[in-house]
Amino acid sequence: MSFASWKLTNAKETQMISRKFSAKILFTCVTLFAMHSFAVDSMADAQNQPESTQLSQLKTPDVRRNDGKVRARQEGSLILDNAQSKNLKDFQKFSKTEGPRTGGGGNSCALSIYQNTEKLVSLIHEMPTLLNGQLRGYLLHKISVAKFYISENLILDGQVKDAINYPDTNEIYLSNRLCGLDLLEVQGRAMAILLHEYLGLANIDDRRYQVSGAFLQNYSTYRARGYTFIADNSYLAHTGECVQSVLQIQVIGNNFVISSSSKPGARVLPLMSQQVEDFFELGNRVWGPTKTVVVADRDAGVEYVFSSEACNSIKCEYLRIRKGNETLKTIKSSINGLSSIGCK
């Protein structure tokens, strides 16, 4: 082959290689542009979705538990499914009971979880420094879809546990001991225990109780005891017999506790911090304009309206139980104690 022929052949091969290389570059650029456009469209779609849909599609937060434990599925009975509720502040009752602590162990535990969770959710909003906005939103989402099971034996890594959570299925298994002891009443410790398990569902690191412990510390700074209302609430039974009863209502911490001497157990409703302040002012009122505090009982469909009013030269305190615009009952508080009780 002459030098001229070799030069011509080499030039053709070089031109062919250059064309192939240019084509590859063009294909890569088109692919990258398409991927970028798809990502932008996906982000736009996500932003246009409702908040509830975005929450359900949230990825696990960066702060994770990372305990690396493989958790074998436990056996237990479903006692409460938070996903049945319409929203976090309107849980449906999972079981029908006459009082807060009646019924079987599962029923009583479900009601305790229901009451503590409702209170916990309100306090999470009252403690904005506990978690940042993203983590708080993800935690509240996990709370809203959690399912609770009760089990006789909870074993993890050969050790007996009081509670085990499964983030992938949003399940929390509780022992009978935990239900019958620590979760029995609405209190700071019970809410901290539930918060620890809810944080587990959200894969938020609480191995050293750094979040649930901070919650419990904040809760303990609330007033231990506030307003008290005591009155004669005796009534005539269907037999015509007078049933003597003393009504006692106390604001303990952020709990509104109603109890009656004629009935076992107590009813507990959560209060917002502003209501606690209003009750404090109501109890301290000696004279001046009427002060009023309203507590809604959604389950019973009534409102409890407390008022401190002027009665001649002294103050009088009343409780009016109201349903809509109708006042069902008016009770006067015995501020200095009851001298006698009975039907009048």
pLDDT in tens, the chain (344 residues): 554 554 445 555 555 545 554 544 444 443 444 444 433 343 344 334 443 333 444 444 444 444 555 555 667 788 888 887 544 444 433 333 333 333 334 577 888 888 888 878 877 877 778 898 889 999 999 999 999 999 888 888 888 889 999 999 999 999 988 888 888 777 888 999 999 999 999 999 999 999 999 998 877 765 455 788 888 888 888 888 998 888 888 887 788 888 888 887 778 898 888 898 899 888 888 788 899 999 999 888 999 999 999 887 778 899 999 999 999 999 998 765 677 788 87
* Residue 210 placed within a domain: yes
Instruction: Return the pLDDT at 34.
Output: 41
Instruction: Return the pLDDT at 263.
Output: 81
Same-domain status, 175 and 292 = no
pLDDT tens digits along 164-203: 999 999 999 999 888 888 887 778 889 999 999 999 999 9
Specify the pTM: 0.48
* Residue 68 placed within a domain: no
Instruction: Return the pLDDT at 11.
Output: 52
* Residue 104 placed within a domain: yes
Domain that holds residue 273: 228-332
> What is the number of helices (H) and of strands (E) in the chain?
8, 16
Same-domain status, 84 and 194 = yes
Same-domain status, 237 and 311 = yes
Same-domain status, 201 and 304 = no
Same-domain status, 111 and 211 = yes
* Residue 69 placed within a domain: no
CB burial class (10 A; 0-12, 13-18, 19+) of residue 146? buried
Same-domain status, 263 and 207 = no
Same-domain status, 97 and 156 = yes
Residue ending a domain, choose from 169, 191, 220: 220
Instruction: Return the pLDDT at 27.
Output: 45
Instruction: Return the pLDDT at 138.
Output: 93
Q: How many domains does the chain have?
A: 2
Which residue in 280, 254, 278 sits closest to 126, CA to CA? 254
* Residue 232 placed within a domain: yes
Six-digit token pair at 74?
Answer: 């436990």
Instruction: Return the pLDDT at 337.
Output: 63
* Residue 54 placed within a domain: no
Are the beta carbons of 208 and 184 closer than 8 angstroms?
no
Same-domain status, 173 and 82 = yes
Same-domain status, 176 and 232 = no
